[in-house]
Structure 1
Amino acid sequence: MKIAKTLGQAVAAATLGMSLAAGTMAGEVNIGFTGPLSGGAALYGENTLSGLRMAAEEINAAGGFDLNGEKTTINLVSLDDRYSPAQAATNAKRLKQESNVPAIFIPHSGGVFALQDFNEKDNFLIMAYTSVPTVTEKGNSLTVRIPPTFDGYVRAFTDYALENLGTTLGMAGATHEYAKIWGSMIEKEWTSKGGKVVANNPMDYNKSADFFTGVSRIIAEDPEVMFVGGASEPTGLVVQQARQMGFQGGFIVMDQAKIDEVASVAGGLDMVEGAVGVVPLSVYETEPAQDFIKRYKAEYGKTPGSEAAYNYLALHGLVEAMDATESTDPKVIRAAIGKALKNMPTSKNPYEVTDVTEKGGFVTDTTLAVVKDGKIVQVDID
């Protein structure tokens, strides 16, 4: 088993040292990444980057792909933006100017929106790992949204929680742009279906590890359900501290956080009893998912989350599109990526995504999982 590298340091530093100084080498295409590799969301960013790195290593080990009659490899160039939209925009400019990347992967909506201000003009494809619906509704012709939109989660999580957990909700989500949009949508959905929001106190999940003050304000209003969510690690701390202060209700977990990862930080599945969230990859029983989990564990020594799996398949899909068209033109790649996903081997596609909407979103199913009696259980959605 290989020892997992600290991606935010070893991988980023190595790729930057070679790539930014030299630009694109003959027989090599640079692919960009900007995301949080330090701060409270560093684990989230590193999980995303690990899927890209695994895909790039597989592609290169297989000899690369065809480009103008020449076998071409992938060079992943990663930059830390500390979850800052402004820094993400600066990084994207640098990646385009110095490394001539045709595509940039980015795992946060604030950064995606910042890049959409200039990516069509600068001619690069945004590979957006965010479930905010407006990312693809804005009509940006060079954006691909990788995960499913969260509006389906908002409806499904609300329906389940109101029926099974209670009707009073305390809002303890994060303060970044993605969490703000999620929070506003679930508050609207909750109240429109007869529930009551008794407290609303968003917190900065990226900068703090002590959430006792913020959580205590929520608990003081005695909610039956608590809405939480940002990256998995700080979300786990919020849940842990809520339990330590005596909260015994259920949780609605925003899709950025994964129940199994939250439980690991909080102290076990018993700490998240009654939680509602997306189905973790570890619960999937399909052959492509289980095969990816096995290979990822062998590479990194831990169970992968959806960030790794979705970005892994997205980079494979991107390269399949370049291989099929023998082009690195972002417009050509964007037009070809749907067909590329259909033709991609299932071993490269743990979520079995086979289509892209006209507006640029991967076509995937909305899933729902709950924690019952100390186990994560998938629940069918009507």
Structure 2
Amino acid sequence: MKKMRKTMMTVMAAATALMLTGCGAKSSSHGNKQDADTVKIGVNMELSGSAAGYGNAEKQGIELATSEINKAGGINVNGHKKKIKLVIRDNKTATTTSSSIAAQLTTKDKVAAIVGPATTNAGTAQIPNITKASVASVSPSATDPGYTLQKNDKVQPYVFRACFQNNFQGESAAKFMAQTLKVKRVAVYADNSSDYGTGLANAFKKTFTGKIVDSQTYSEGDKDFNAVLTSFKSKKIDAIYVPGYYTEAGLIIKQARQIGIKAPIVGSDGMADPKLAQIAGKQSATNVYYTTPFSLQVAKKNPVAVKFMNAFRARYHVAAPTFSALAYDAVYMVKSAIESEKSDDSAKVAAGLAKIKDFDGVTGKITVNKTHDPEMPIAVEEMTNGKVTNSFSVK
């Protein structure tokens, strides 16, 4: 999940320039060392600002995983059990803050690894500092295809993620709509405030085998979608594809139903948040679908996921959201990397993350490929009256 907003473009330009300088520099051959009894894991997360809904869900998953690992004795570092110490910082959904937090976590706090940020823009901003310090970061939800790559398509050595790319999501949504929903006439209504929405829309259009009847865009903060939706209705669409975030997607769903559009509305993992139904209204949030790396329905068949879901409900008294599951997996990926390398030196942690194969995660079996992207399953969840009532696997 990526959340790059137009309001941040000036800051991003500076951050990108810094990134190019940092990525061109040599990183140290050895990373941060840890003390005798603890492994420090940094958390660079959007706990306030526009992406706080995602960041706080991920923080819950991180804290649950850490609690479980510590309760079981800690991480096995070459035969010695060491407890995790989390160092949590709020980047406020701001690229400059994310960059400065990364510098603090790597040089002052001397963490072994970082989990986060949630968004691609904040994650991109920290790359120069984590590269310079040889500290790996695992983002639970940065989905832009180029996030793990440098400008020359060379892999970023310290950048990893626990979720699939936007291209995979857009392609999967197109296949699902054509093969499962069997729709032939689709309108696309994408968020143009970020590469997240536009990237998903482009991947969808390239893959969908039916007819794209119309394609329109909206921006972050828009409230009135009636004119475009009325135009869609007049064109006798079979479905609408809405790649974006729950804030605007919820209003689009609500207004579409109010003007009599009953056709399926399909979106992306940015809709995988309980607030979607709150914004849309429970009755309106029917015949709604979205791609997701974590489906509660599919997870019931996965013992690792069942354990996670039960533990999450016991701790937080709600069903586990997608972004908590991704962050939970990210912590366990760091643990797996440390134990496989028999070292919590941050440079060794990065090497271990790159070697992960057939990791049993909450979101399914994960293998990290040569571009530091996880090869993992994808699902589509269906909402009826504001609740997830069905799920589908996409191949």
**What is the TM-score normalised by the length of structure 2?**
0.76
Counterpart Cα distance in 2 of 1:54 and 1:380: 27
Structure 1 residue 117: deviation in Å? 3.9
State percent identity of aligned pairs.
Answer: 19
2:131 to 111, 120, 127: 120
2:226 maps to 1:216: yes
2:392 maps to 1:379: yes
Of 306-315 and 367-376, the range deviating more from structure 2:
367-376
Contact 2:288 2:382 in 1 (8 A): yes
Contact 1:89 1:115 in 2 (8 A): yes
Task: Name the count of aligned residue pairs.
Answer: 348
What is residue 303 of structure 1 aligned with on the other side? Answer: 319
2:144 maps to 1:132: yes
Counterpart Cα distance in 1 of 2:128 and 2:196: 17
What is residue 226 of structure 1 aligned with on the other side? Answer: 240
What is residue 326 of structure 1 aligned with on the other side? Answer: 342
What is residue 199 of structure 2 aligned with on the other side? Answer: 181
Contact 1:168 1:198 in 2 (8 A): yes
What is residue 64 of structure 2 aligned with on the other side? Answer: 54
Spell out, residue by residue over 1:18-41, the C-alpha distance to the aligned partner (whole angstroms, 9 max, x if none).
xxxxx9776222212223212342
Q: Which amino acid aligns with 1:45?
A: G
Q: Which amino acid aligns with 2:389?
A: I
Q: Compared with structure 1, are the counterparts of its residues 120 and 40 closer, same or farther at alpha carbon in structure 2 (3 Å cutoff)?
A: closer
Spell out, residue by residue over 1:146-196, the C-alpha distance to the aligned partner (whole angstroms, 9 max, x if none).
112232321231233356345231414262343332233334445xx4523
1:366 to 378, 382, 389: 378
Counterpart Cα distance in 1 of 2:245 and 2:163: 15
Q: Compared with structure 1, are the counterparts of its residues 275 and 321 closer, same or farther at alpha carbon in structure 2 (3 Å cutoff)?
A: closer
In structure 1, stretches of 5+ residues that fail to align are: 1-22
Structure 1 residue 371: deviation in Å? 4.7
Structure 1 residue 118: deviation in Å? 4.4
Q: Which amino acid aligns with 1:381?
A: V
Counterpart Cα distance in 1 of 2:60 and 2:192: 24
Contact 1:39 1:82 in 2 (8 A): yes
Counterpart Cα distance in 1 of 2:171 and 2:63: 34
Q: Compared with structure 1, are the counterparts of its residues 277 and 324 closer, same or farther at alpha carbon in structure 2 (3 Å cutoff)?
A: closer
Contact 2:77 2:338 in 1 (8 A): yes
Counterpart Cα distance in 1 of 2:199 and 2:93: 16
Q: Which amino acid aligns with 1:127?
A: V
Structure 1 residue 243: deviation in Å? 2.6
Q: Which structure features the higher share of strand residues?
A: 2
What is residue 5 of structure 2 aligned with on the other side? Answer: none
Spell out, residue by residue over 1:244-294, the C-alpha distance to the aligned partner (whole angstroms, 9 max, x if none).
344333212112322766335433375231434337532122132222111
Q: Which amino acid aligns with 1:220?
A: T
Secondary structure of 1:175's match? Answer: coil
Q: Compared with structure 1, are the counterparts of its residues 357 and 340 closer, same or farther at alpha carbon in structure 2 (3 Å cutoff)?
A: closer
What is residue 4 of structure 2 aligned with on the other side? Answer: none
Q: Compared with structure 1, are the counterparts of its residues 124 and 148 closer, same or farther at alpha carbon in structure 2 (3 Å cutoff)?
A: same
Cα RMSD over matched residues?
3.1
What is residue 263 of structure 1 aligned with on the other side? Answer: 277
Q: Compared with structure 1, are the counterparts of its residues 237 and 40 closer, same or farther at alpha carbon in structure 2 (3 Å cutoff)?
A: farther
Of 141-150 and 243-252, the range deviating more from structure 2:
243-252
What is residue 350 of structure 1 aligned with on the other side? Answer: 362
Counterpart Cα distance in 1 of 2:390 and 2:273: 11
Aligned counterparts, 1:54-203, within 5 A: 54-67=64-77, 70-105=80-115, 106-129=117-140, 130-137=142-149, 138=153, 139-162=155-178, 164-173=182-191, 175-190=193-208, 193-196=209-212, 198-203=214-219
**What is the TM-score normalised by the length of structure 1?**
0.79
Q: Compared with structure 1, are the counterparts of its residues 24 and 134 closer, same or farther at alpha carbon in structure 2 (3 Å cutoff)?
A: same
Q: Which structure features the higher share of helix residues?
A: 1
Of 51-60 and 113-122, the range deviating more from structure 2:
113-122
